[in-house]
Structure 1
Amino acid sequence: MSLTADLSQAKTGPALSKVRGSLPAPVPGRRTRRCRERLFQWLFLVPAVVYMAMFFGYPVVKNVVMSFQDYTTATFFTGEAPWVGLANYVTVLSSSLFSTSLVNTALFTVGSIAGQFAVGLALAIFFQRKFPLNGILRSLLLLPWLLPLIVSSAVWRWILDKDSGALNRFLGELHIVDTGVPWLTSTSLALIAVVGVNIWIGIPFNLTILYGGLREIPDELYEAGSLDGATGWKAFRHITWPMLRPVVSVVLVLGVVYTLKVLDIILGLTNGGPANSTQTIATQSYALSFQEFKFGEGAALGNVLVTISLVFAVLYLRASRRAVDE
């Protein structure tokens, strides 16, 4: 019996070894696959990381370093920029012009965002309805957003001109005003005029984003709400606004960050005047850097503006997230 078993084992042994030799190599483990996938993910991210570091990270770091140095035109020839610490920040923050610029920046931002959002939301709701030429009209409303800002400011400077401006001529023909209104040369009207122009430029952005958000709200919600009597204003309050809140958060945050740094429009219309009535932190930073060539002070004021933008974005996003959770 044992002899027969030994013979059969002797016969099947080589056969089993041949079968095992013909089997494919073991598949790499799950851990190895994950490592390869993670490696490929990082390889795809490398170009984006390098781009961000070169064109965003380096300028930010360079601007922060410059704000602690006495960086002037002489630095370009000597290569020397003495370290002055917080002296640039103390100079710009203690300047009498800073308080005026801060107030103008707040008024300009709040007025622009409120006007752009209100008009953009109203137009987005209006264009939800189906009517002839709907698409063409929406396309035409994008025109202010597509024009270069310097071109828009030049056109509006002509429209708002006191003596030969189209707006004053139109108001005169209607006998609303007798003499030309100094839209851009009056200390009490210049900021209002600049805010109005910026609202005109920002409406297409708000319209486009809010219209896309409204299109994503299912019609079934309105149908169900109508059965409970939620129509008109009630439907907007209980259905449209809660569903649109995430989009509103994005629009407002981007709008504030963009408006805080608006430069072209103000420079093209008033150049910060008259009597600094339209001077903002952005225009003051530009004047310090490229008109007075005090690059260190200009960089310090630019960092103050960036800090204000970051603080607002963080606080607003936290508040909106808390409201959504509740």
Structure 2
Amino acid sequence: MTSVSDMTSVGGRLDRRARPTAGGPTAPRRRPRLGRQVARWLFVAPAVIFVLVFFGYPIVQNVMMSLENYTTTTFYTGEAPWVGFANYVTVFTNPLFTTTVINTALFTVGSIVCQFVLGLGLALFFKRHFPLGGFLRSLLLLPWLLPLIASAAVWKWILDQGSGALNQFLGLFGVSPVPWLVSPSLALVAVIGVNIWLGIPFNTTILYSGLQAVPEELYEAASLDGAVGWKAFWHITWPSIRSVVGVVVVLGVVYTLKVVDIILGLTGGGPANSTQTLATWAYQNSFVQFLFGQGAAVSNVLIAVSLVFALVYLSMTRKEVDE
């Protein structure tokens, strides 16, 4: 017969065999988890490398260039003396800096406000189904699809003081030719008008997509309470597309801050620097006067301003995803 001590010893051995060791079950689990982490990084690595090479390196190089006396001889000798913040001091103390900042603010605010108002109006108009509505929406995208320099050339012909199509049309009503692009008081207004024409398709397309996501049942329920027209827009449409509006405005600001093609094609920054912005001034410093250090300093100011709006855009999109 088996004694109690024998049964106890056998049970102890079985208990020790069945009991998991400290590293037994967890070791096989760590390997797959480590493999998943490595796989994730392998999938992300191409995007990280692309961003670092094509975005990170140019920005770092631009910052370094703004701290050096970078000239045309540097391309041959490779030598660029370190000057610290001298380029920034030169830029900030230049009287043209204040002019470019004011012009940039006026150009951006004027373009964004008008683009958004007109784009929202067209989006609300196209939300109503009517014949040829889809065809007209496709035509609306045409300014967005044209190359900017080609659009600038066409608008320069339209706004020409002597033989421009706009002045010829106004002449039919007895209006004398208007110096749209050669008058310091009108040139910025004309450039803003052309940029508004270019930005309307973007605003209309994005806002129209946002309006399509608003359920029609909300309007039907609101109509029973007498909320129609402006009341329906203010209490239903606007709260529903508020996140889309924020994205449109922020992206519009970032895009408008870096506009160069239209201004250079229409006025070249003139007359008398009346249409000179930070973007065009950075271009002229670098590629007209070959003051690459000062041009890099101006562009870094523009990058810093754009970065602020980019962070606002990221925070808004993250909040939208969380909601």
Q: For residues 214-225 of structure 1, what are the structure 2 equivalents within 5 Å?
A: 214-225=211-222
CA distances 1:258-297 after superposition (whole Å, capped 9, x unpaired):
1011000000000000010000011111000000001000
Q: What's the % identity of the aligned pairs?
A: 67
Measured in 1, the distance between the counterparts of 2:192 and 2:28 equals: 63
CA shift at 1:108, angstroms? 0.3
**1:237 is the counterpart of 2:273:** no
Q: For residues 65-76 of structure 1, what are the structure 2 equivalents within 5 Å?
A: 65-76=64-75
Q: 2:268 aligns with which of 259, 266, 271?
A: 271
**1:283 is the counterpart of 2:280:** yes
The code of the aligned residue for 1:254 comes to: L
Measured in 2, the distance between the counterparts of 1:27 and 1:135 equals: 60
The code of the aligned residue for 1:159 comes to: I
Q: 1:227 aligns with which of 224, 231, 242?
A: 224
**1:301 is the counterpart of 2:298:** yes
**1:63 is the counterpart of 2:62:** yes
Task: Provide the aligned C-alpha RMSD in A.
Answer: 2.3
Structure 2 equivalent of residue 110 of structure 1: 109
CA distances 1:12-68 after superposition (whole Å, capped 9, x unpaired):
xxxxxxxxxxxxxx9985443332222211111111111111110100000001000
The code of the aligned residue for 1:237 comes to: W
The code of the aligned residue for 1:224 comes to: A
Contact 2:118 2:200 in 1 (8 A): yes
CA 1:314–1:173 in 2, change beyond 3 Å: closer, same or farther?
same
CA shift at 1:174, angstroms? 2.6
**1:164 is the counterpart of 2:163:** yes
Q: For residues 161-240 of structure 1, what are the structure 2 equivalents within 5 Å?
A: 161-175=160-174, 177=175, 179-240=176-237
Please report the TM-score for the alignment, with normalisation by the length of structure 1.
0.87
Contact 1:69 1:81 in 2 (8 A): yes
Structure 1 equivalent of residue 121 of structure 2: 122
Compare 211-220 and 260-269 and name the one that shifted more.
211-220
The code of the aligned residue for 1:246 comes to: S
3-state SS of 1:73 partner: coil
The code of the aligned residue for 1:68 comes to: L
Structure 2 equivalent of residue 35 of structure 1: 34
Structure 1 equivalent of residue 51 of structure 2: 52
The code of the aligned residue for 1:244 comes to: I
Count of aligned positions: 300
Structure 2 equivalent of residue 93 of structure 1: 92
Q: For residues 76-91 of structure 1, what are the structure 2 equivalents within 5 Å?
A: 76-91=75-90
3-state SS of 2:293 partner: helix
Q: For residues 6-25 of structure 1, what are the structure 2 equivalents within 5 Å?
A: none
Measured in 2, the distance between the counterparts of 1:228 and 1:41 equals: 53
Structure 2 equivalent of residue 146 of structure 1: 145
Q: Which runs of 5+ in 2 are unaligned?
A: 3-24
3-state SS of 2:127 partner: coil
CA shift at 1:218, angstroms? 1.4
Measured in 2, the distance between the counterparts of 1:50 and 1:108 equals: 35
Measured in 2, the distance between the counterparts of 1:52 and 1:203 equals: 30
Q: Which runs of 5+ in 1 are unaligned?
A: 3-25
The code of the aligned residue for 2:99 comes to: T
CA distances 1:145-175 after superposition (whole Å, capped 9, x unpaired):
0000000000000000001000001111133
CA shift at 1:308, angstroms? 1.5
